[in-house]
Structure 1
Amino acid sequence: MKKNKVIELLGESILPGTSKTIEVEIAKLHTMTKLKIPVIIERSKIDGPTVLFSACLHGDEINGTEIVRQIIRKKINKPSRGTIICIPIINIFGFINQTREFPDKRDLNRVFPGSKNGSLASRFAHFLVTEIIPNVDYAIDFHAGGASRFNAPQIRIVPNNLELKELAAVFNSPFTLYSKNIQGSFRNACTKLGVKMLLFEGGKSLDLNDMITEDGVQGSKRFLKHLNMLNPDVESFKKEQETIFIEKSNWIRSNFSGIFHGLINIGSYVKKGEVLAMISDPFGKVEHKLKAPNDGYVINVNDAPIVYQGDAVFHISTKLENQN
């Protein structure tokens, strides 16, 4: 754990017991308009760990921004000990344009650790890795599903890491998925620098969902309580059913093109052979049933009204932890 020393960020000092918002400018718009990204830092006078809450690594995943916004608004980010850093919007360029990528068309979550003299996305990744992450002990990075696919609230962690498993159980989203780090991802870069990160997935891009937001906020409070950092003035968190650990899962793809009629709610447990959706032609002549290939929990559902053959439309668990 980093000691409660002075945090130096972009030439500014943040002492224990102080609050500061630092405006980070990586690059201007092509109109020469400055874009500044607020990094919101709250420090207790009491020594403790540093936690980062970050969102909108992909500019269209705005539900994560709402979660971090509520963490700030409800003063959950004012720790009883240690330090909490909040970055509600990482990819400000994508957020403005409501797109996933940076203006250079690169996915920020594939260019870490970045380069000081690289592409725009690479430069920002370099800033996060060199300026922010060295100060951090724990991180929760909030994401959402893309391409009209809605994720059930879930935490993703690497397998065979008992400490991350414990933290995922503490956060206690409905599901926890084991997934390996992807080369070039923020999570992978944090892992290499010794930061313990939980990746939260919930909802879909360009959408706000109260259930997803509530799960993210409540889980963050449980996480801080576990670290003895939760401000006693914050209202108590809700106790939920224990998270379900999923070892393996698989995408179900559409066998036909047509109008998609989903019949299953997100998070449902389905049995093999159960009808998940109907795919029809627009002219009232053809309907095709899409059935579950196995028993499992539905952790992602398609929200698009039109699908093409081969489109991923449901994500379903195939093996739960301790399941034969």
Structure 2
Amino acid sequence: MTASVNLSSGENELKTVRVGSAESRPGELVYGWFELAQLPTGHTERLPVIIAQGREPGPTFWFTANIHGNELTGMAAVHDIVKPALLENLRGTVVAIPSLNPAGLRTNQRVPYFEMEDPNRSFPGYNNPVTDPTTAERQKHPPSIYDEAMARLFECIRESADFLVDLHCYGLQAASFTIRDRVLYRDEASKAEAEDLYRRMDELCTAFGLAVVNEAEARRYVDQKLHRSTSGAALNEARIPAITVELGLIGGVDPDALSAARTGMLNSLRWAGMLPGMLEKITSVPVPQPTFATRRENSPRAQASGILRYHVRPGDMVSEGDVIATLTDIFGNPIPENSEIKAESDGWIISLSRGAMCYQGQVVTNMAVRDENPMLETFPA
């Protein structure tokens, strides 16, 4: 079943929102299922759907989580926020999918066991067969289970959503932050619309309350199929203000990141005019505030192999040349000439990429570094 949105009569009436078997009812919390696929065993793979609707009209806000099966904090945040207490002051409708990847959730794996590719590159989006021969080849064949299912779910999002937040986790030792995607447009005639879309998306980033890190520049963004992620497709295909929020630890529920997610979700609803009250400051996790825009970068890399000792934590601000880690041999003695690993740029530490072992050429940290690329760009030719 697909989503449908109908105005009963005029703009001041509540919308009816349907996603799979779940249909909104004013003043109620309803549960249902979105059928994903029929499995060879005869079972049906399906996504859980929760719809909370207030008694007063307002926007429709989507929260999605757990598209990578071992990223769990977002699912817990949905469970904590989208419950009966939310209805007391809610205007409009909240649609939540606690798990976009139940198969990965069951096996605690990033990808579903029936589709061994990143499920967060499965949504519809711009393709250029001239520069993307892999996509051109795949278009000759039937879509995968996940591509077909996400295309149907995407129509639900396109038809009903006014805003979307997709909840993820980042790494074993990682900060919490918001990813701000580039807004792509096709020609000068559509640039003004793109500017307005960017403004609203940027306001949503700010309202959530975490540090904001820009996504890759346009060519790399499309080459890596980031425009076909949940939020990337919502933003650049459906033209809906949408963001990705990263919530620290992978493989378990991070209590501090969970607290930040709850605050950020409520902030988002307040910003959208769906809940009363002022935006709240996030205090449970570091919220770095550099004086310049940043983007993600895997940097630095180890110049030798050895035992790694970090001297920074996720969320720490660093300057170019700061020692962020040291390398020793197995006896604890410094590696000659390569014992110090230094920051190559000003910025802040997103995640610590290794455990104790590090091999030459491996990434040591993921950093938020200075970004001077435009946030609005044309779709790559």
TM-score, L = length of structure 1: 0.86
CA contact (8 A) 1:49 1:137 kept: yes
Residue 180 of structure 2 corresponds to 157
- Give the alignment partner of residue 72 of structure 2, picking from 62, 65, 72: 62
Secondary structure (helix, strand or coil) at the match of 1:99 reads coil
- 1:95-148 Cα offsets, whole Å, 9 max, x none, are 111111122202111121299x621221221232123442111011011124x4
Secondary structure (helix, strand or coil) at the match of 1:309 reads coil
Letter in 2 for 1:102: P
Cα pair distance change 1:311/1:75, threshold 3 Å: farther
Residue 72 of structure 1 corresponds to 82
What is the Cα deviation at residue 211 of structure 1? Answer: 1.6
- More helix by proportion, 1 or 2? 2
- Give the alignment partner of residue 124 of structure 2, picking from 93, 96, 113: 113
What is the Cα deviation at residue 28 of structure 1? Answer: 5.1
Mapped partners of 2:369, 2:280: distance in 1: 31
Mapped partners of 2:37, 2:331: distance in 1: 51
Cα pair distance change 1:260/1:133, threshold 3 Å: farther
CA contact (8 A) 1:2 1:136 kept: no
What is the Cα deviation at residue 158 of structure 1? Answer: 2.7
CA contact (8 A) 1:51 1:85 kept: yes
Mapped partners of 2:296, 2:119: distance in 1: 25
Cα pair distance change 1:11/1:220, threshold 3 Å: closer
What is the Cα deviation at residue 36 of structure 1? Answer: 3.7
What is the Cα deviation at residue 74 of structure 1? Answer: 7.9
Mapped partners of 1:78, 1:42: distance in 2: 11
Aligned: 1:246 with 2:293? yes
Aligned: 1:166 with 2:213? no
Secondary structure (helix, strand or coil) at the match of 1:47 reads strand
Aligned: 1:209 with 2:254? yes
What is the Cα deviation at residue 42 of structure 1? Answer: 0.6
What is the Cα deviation at residue 59 of structure 1? Answer: 0.9
Secondary structure (helix, strand or coil) at the match of 2:364 reads strand
Residue 177 of structure 1 corresponds to 213
Letter in 2 for 1:246: A
Secondary structure (helix, strand or coil) at the match of 2:268 reads helix
Letter in 2 for 1:152: A
CA contact (8 A) 1:164 1:197 kept: yes
- 1:56-98 Cα offsets, whole Å, 9 max, x none, are 1111111221222222358447652000011111100011111
CA RMSD of aligned residues (A): 3.0
CA contact (8 A) 1:153 1:212 kept: yes
Residue 290 of structure 1 corresponds to 341
Aligned: 1:280 with 2:328? yes
- Give the alignment partner of residue 39 of structure 1, picking from 43, 49, 58: 49
Letter in 2 for 1:206: G
Cα pair distance change 1:56/1:133, threshold 3 Å: farther
After TM superposition, the structure 1 = structure 2 runs for residues 1-324 of structure 1, keeping only pairs within 5 Å, are 4-10=14-20, 13-27=23-37, 31-72=41-82, 75-76=85-86, 80-103=90-113, 104-113=115-124, 118-146=143-171, 148=172, 150-159=173-182, 161-173=198-210, 175-180=211-216, 182-191=226-235, 192-230=237-275, 237-238=280-281, 244=290, 246-252=293-299, 253-287=301-335, 288-319=339-370
CA contact (8 A) 1:2 1:50 kept: no
- 1:186-220 Cα offsets, whole Å, 9 max, x none, are 22221211221111012132132222111111111
Cα pair distance change 1:208/1:281, threshold 3 Å: farther
What is the Cα deviation at residue 223 of structure 1? Answer: 1.2
Mapped partners of 1:73, 1:8: distance in 2: 18
What is the Cα deviation at residue 248 of structure 1? Answer: 3.7
What is the Cα deviation at residue 156 of structure 1? Answer: 1.1
Mapped partners of 1:144, 1:51: distance in 2: 21
What is the Cα deviation at residue 32 of structure 1? Answer: 4.0
TM-score, L = length of structure 2: 0.74
What is the Cα deviation at residue 30 of structure 1? Answer: 5.2
Mapped partners of 2:116, 2:327: distance in 1: 33
Mapped partners of 1:312, 1:239: distance in 2: 29
Secondary structure (helix, strand or coil) at the match of 1:217 reads helix
